[in-house]
């Protein structure tokens, strides 16, 4: 089977086999999957998170709170899926809606990566909750836009949306259980000066 790829207004057409298209996708995935994992890891290292955070350890947790290791496993899987979906859309040159799909993906990714420093570093539970709410909307929009470019790319983001929905409920409960969460332990951004 062959696919025709339009080369813009020049009228040139290139014929690519399914194997060539798969190889092009694989080349993108080799870049996007590690990039997503690296960005997620870097974001997580900006502030101590999970059980490494004295502030987080002191918070009252809801009963639905998963064990700490589950977050690392879940986010690794989700970043791999995001990288694969991104590679599909990047590789879909000439597809209508590709540009806006990539733009919305980048915006949601920026909010995603900013979440850990806001929650674990600044201890802003209410701001982090708003960020997850915005992420739910943006990821839903990304799914719809990716679906229009490549339906499988949209499907790959569905677990991400489900996890964000769970995270929203979890964070909402944490916020209710800890009305004074911001003041439990000073954030890393607060200068502490000891006067003797």
> What digits encode the pLDDT tens for the residues 95-148?
899 999 999 999 999 999 999 999 999 999 999 999 999 999 999 999 999 999
- The whole-number pLDDT of residue 3 equals 47
pTM value? 0.82
Query: Hey, where are the domains in the chain?
Result: 2-183
The answer, yes or no, to whether residue 5 has pLDDT greater than 60, is no
The string of DSSP letters for 114-176 reads HHHIIIIIT--HHHHHHHHHHHHHHHHHHHHHHHHH-HHHHHHTHHHHHHHHHHHHHHHHHHH
In CATH, 2-183 is 3.40.50.360: no
- The whole-number pLDDT of residue 65 equals 95
Least confident of 5-9, 42-46, 167-171: 5-9
Measured at the CA of 109, the angle between CA 154 and CA 128, to 5 degrees, comes to 115
């Amino acid at each position: 089977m062959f696919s025709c790829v339009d080369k813009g207004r020049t009228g040139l057409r290139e014929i690519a086999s399914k194997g060539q298209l798969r190889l092009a996708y694989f080349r993108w995935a080799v870049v996007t999957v590690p990039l997503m994992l690296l960005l997620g890891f870097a974001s997580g290292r900006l502030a101590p998170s999970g059980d490494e955070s004295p502030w987080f350890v002191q918070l009252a947790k809801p009963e639905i709170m998963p064990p700490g290791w589950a977050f690392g496993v879940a986010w690794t899987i989700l970043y791999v899926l995001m990288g694969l979906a991104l590679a599909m859309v990047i590789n879909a040159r000439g597809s209508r809606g590709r540009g806006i799909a990539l733009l919305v993906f980048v915006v949601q990714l920026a909010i995603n990566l900013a979440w850990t420093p806001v929650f674990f570093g600044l201890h802003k539970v209410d701001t982090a909750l708003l960020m997850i709410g915005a992420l739910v909307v943006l990821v839903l929009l990304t799914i719809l836009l990716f679906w229009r470019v490549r339906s499988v790319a949209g499907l790959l983001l569905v677990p991400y949306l489900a996890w964000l929905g769970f995270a929203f409920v979890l964070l909402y409960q944490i916020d209710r259980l800890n009305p004074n969460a911001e003041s439990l332990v000073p954030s890393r951004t607060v200068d502490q000066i000891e006067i003797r």
